[in-house]
Structure 1
């Protein structure tokens, strides 16, 4: 009993005395210049160094002190969870996992796995990583901060760097759907506006975070504070080059500033429920504190990338057992697969590359001649996939390149030579939009993520081949009405046979259905239950979601010399639900 009372008294003392440096006054002060773990009991501990410290409870870490200011305040703090907030990890029994002269690795244990904080004597922030022991099959796994809304007033993603909406704005607006509100002036607030494409491509890292006046100071020139996530290695994150995720938002119930770290997410996908092997490791990534200077974060990011894979880190799955994989992809004419998106993932998988997520994944782009290289690939056997990504040589290719049994061997550079990408081999009659799994080039498409932009697209549209331009085609079709493509078949093609209409969708959200017609005769339909559905469009996506592609045969004689039409007629609609276009191609078989 006496020892328990001592622990409680110690905890109260630690929380009540905060010196100007921002480091707690300890009953027994930790050695200066050294990271520390002060274990209060099995469920509570304090970690930190001379510059910051954090109280970690069984689910939530609070009282994040820096320069005498609590950066969490009345907010929830730091936690780790899966399947939304339904399952918060109970992280207890803190201990020092490893300690050297350079760093201290502190681990907190949960039934599902171990969460680590790696501190150095001078680092503002910490490296973090998670090792799986018993996570269930899941789609969403995340770490996050919910921070004081007076200190962190701005958000920075890949697409936005702006003031977060104040809670008062949300409370005075009308809720119209999931975490989305409409102001009196008609504009919208949604937590998905700060979503962005994830920085998952090799050598194209990025960072995201929140920043503002330290302690909520209103004084001109007040000191600033920033909290950032930097991922120099991204092979533990699910999905391909078009992976998007929620990163930052204002918590609508409390006003907390939310900084998300979706290390396995599904916000913009059809499904990505995965079964993870024991020992799978997410991270290490860097949670970084600074004075809010974005230039400083950019510099730090470059340093982290230069040092990755980290020499100091080890795991049981061969973190340092890495090699490189290279090759060249050409089309059937021998042209290089210019700027193809090349993906190294699950071997012999039937999942889309966007939905793969159980293991480790690598993404890069081929150069203008089709050459590609994956660096620092964990030893193993992979499936190689490639899809068009906007270059002219692949803009009309509706096939996906695929090759399995690609090996990566530690300390070796394996070159798989020249590989040929079989294309559909058909003659194009016309095409609207490049095949690149994006709505790029169409009206109203493009960053940043923004709610309700689909409302700008008309119910009825006429597009004339040879006269209309790509910008005349809108990125989303959702309203009751018909979009008609008018085109001429020259007499020299009078003896051509059957044709195929390919409709490539960069995204689809259920609730909209339609029929497809060639010269007034129905040749197919687009509808829920058939199309892979994601929440991307009503979650502010403006370029992509879950890609799908559909081919509709047109029998010989149905297209004739002279004027012809293809029509897509929406028969059932739902606001902010729709399909998002990638490309439409009509070809002779």
Structure 2
């Protein structure tokens, strides 16, 4: 993998390292040592950067890359690795008396910046777009020595990464997924996925060295509160320990191709090195979150920020307590999970429906909100307000915002309406490939007797899942009903390859068909997710005459299936 130039750089690096020994000279530097080969660092650490790959990383007197691929920036998976044509220091400065440099590496698509402070263990990084194509995946990453970094940590999981030996004779099932060597369960990198918006620090570590990403400002990420991404894993072909920075990701989304304006900035985030201590990384993350937005960054648009505040009130008089609130594209044409061209902000309302977004980049936004479960788990409608203008140094006070509810009578509801599978059997369980296969082929849920945990989080087997419910005096109610009954099906995720027919008392009232506009594939169900993928809302109005006094049924008959593909449930509601 390493080029001749990179190998030469390795030879020259020894002299550079000797010239800048740790604890004697800590000034940050960028040094050209060959054709398209540079060394950057500060004496605490240094890295040899070749035309594409950062091939050697010296820290604590050891090369932390070894035979791995090192550091690089790529888009559309591994199809396009950025090639650096030049590098230079674009700024030298001091922050709180500490010298730093901003070293910029230029590619046709844009500029990758390394902001290196004197004595710093690691560096801040950010990327500025100039010519990226429309794309779904854009990332920076480290592929590091598998002996030095045997463990991985995210906000969801912490433990030993599977060793390369586990993959050698394993049977590959599909998509970076293998049968486990002991025949029990599976090996898959997707078990190491986690939530983007709640991430504090993550990375790979061992007994002597830890390499971490700390992303305090998350406004450059695509997606909403439910955005989840692959973060660390074991590379199955080489054994590299992978620390993945998916700054625009699609691993669990249905559609996320975006066009980026010239100047779109991802970051800065901190790439942090230490002795492998998680408590130290946690403490450093706390400092970074408190320091964001970073005052040392020389970028006018980055610092042009204001605030947005308001109060969400439901039309029945209740505050929209704990609601998920999202600030994104103005006059949106995409789902909130699918947005990603510019900058995005997430928060939750308090018990009185109040919310605030601090440090929002100046622009016009669309404000959206939806139920995040109790105490408004019955709310199936969403809120949208366009043309929310944010100006530098100003607070946009939206005041009380009226959120309209359905005026129908509810006959039943299965599960909280919160865009997640929480509350159902296995809903929100740790990431685990194939867990959905443990859900039954046939299931009967009785309103008033069954509890949410009797309904499983996902349906992928051919069979019938039936809801039994009672309708008192159905004939009189039907005659008086101004509108037809409406079945609301809220899906926390859907992986294409499964078809379902929806029945009311044995009469077909609709279909949920793979590949339809509302059911495009998101990979959540077959990529170990148990809580969410791309949220969908489907409605099936039907003739009131189909209902009868006494026991009635709604059935979801899965008629066509593919292994580990199908429906992840959020909530099912029948309204009169």
The equivalent position to 2:558 in structure 1, one of 547, 550, 570, is 570
- Equivalent in the alignment of 1:525: 511
Aligned to 1:260: 244
Which piece of structure 1 moves more, 236-245 or 528-537? 528-537
Q: Which residue of 1 aligns with 2:188?
A: 190
Q: 1:86 aligns with which of 70, 79, 87?
A: 79
User: CA, structure 1 residues 31+398, in 2 after alignment: closer, same or farther (shift >3 Å)?
Assistant: same
Q: Which residue pairs with 2:488 in the alignment?
A: 502
- Do residues 347 (structure 1) and 312 (structure 2) align? no
* Counterpart position of 2:341: 358
2:81 aligned with 1:118, yes or no? no
Give the conservation status (yes or no) of the 8 Å contact 1:444–1:456. Answer: no
CA-to-partner distance for each residue in 1:5-51, whole Å, 9 max, x for gaps?
A: xx99984652455xxxxx71249999922011111234100011121
For normalisation by structure 2, the TM-score amounts to: 0.95
Q: In 2, Cα distance between the equivalents of 1:334 and 1:408? A: 28
Counterpart position of 1:376: 359
Q: For 2:22 and 2:416, locate their aligned partners in 1 and report how far apart those are by CA, in whole Å.
A: 64
Moved more, 82-91 or 182-191: 182-191
The question of whether the paired residues in 1 share the 8 Å contact of 2:471 and 2:550 is answered with yes
Would you say how many aligned residue pairs link Structure 1 and Structure 2? 561
Q: State the alpha-carbon separation in 1 of the partners of residues 141 and 68 from structure 2.
A: 12
1:400 positional shift: 1.3
Q: Does the Cα contact within 8 Å between 1:104 and 1:120 map onto a contact in 2?
A: yes
CA contact (8 A) 1:532 1:548 kept: no
**C-alpha displacement of 1:173:** 1.5
Instruction: Give the match for residue 305 of structure 2.
Output: 322
1:495-533 CA-to-partner distances (Å, cap 9, x unmatched) read 233311111111001110010100000000111122132
**Superposition deviation, residue 493 in structure 1:** 7.1
- The answer to which of 523-532 and 82-91 deviates more is 523-532
| Runs (5+) with no aligned partner, structure 1 | 1-6, 18-22, 214-223
- List gaps (5 residues or longer) in structure 2: none
The verdict on how the C-alpha distance between 1:471 and 1:30 changes in structure 2, with shifts beyond 3 A counting, is closer
Q: How does 1:25-424 map to 2 (within 5 A)?
A: 25-26=18-19, 32-101=25-94, 102-183=99-180, 184-198=182-196, 200=197, 205-213=199-207, 224-315=208-299, 318-393=301-376, 395-424=377-406
SS of equivalent residue, structure 1 residue 103: strand
Q: Which has the larger displacement, 79-88 or 301-310?
A: 301-310
User: Please, what TM-score do these two structures have when normalized by structure 1?
Assistant: 0.93
Structure 1 residues 34-43 or 148-157, which shifts more?
34-43
Q: What SS does the aligned partner of 1:313 have?
A: coil
Question: 1:106·1:118 contact (CA, 8 Å) conserved in 2?
Answer: yes
Distance 1:424 1:42 in 2: 66
Q: Which secondary structure state, in structure 2, belongs to the residue aligned with residue 239 of structure 1?
A: coil
For the residue of structure 1 that corresponds to 2:448, the secondary structure is: coil
Alignment check: 8 A CA contact 2:6 2:50 kept: no
CA RMSD, Structure 1 to Structure 2 (Å): 1.9
SS at match of 1:116: strand
Where 2:126 maps in the other structure, the secondary structure is: strand
Residue in structure 1 matched with residue 442 of structure 2 by the alignment: 460
Q: SS where residue 165 of structure 2 aligns?
A: helix
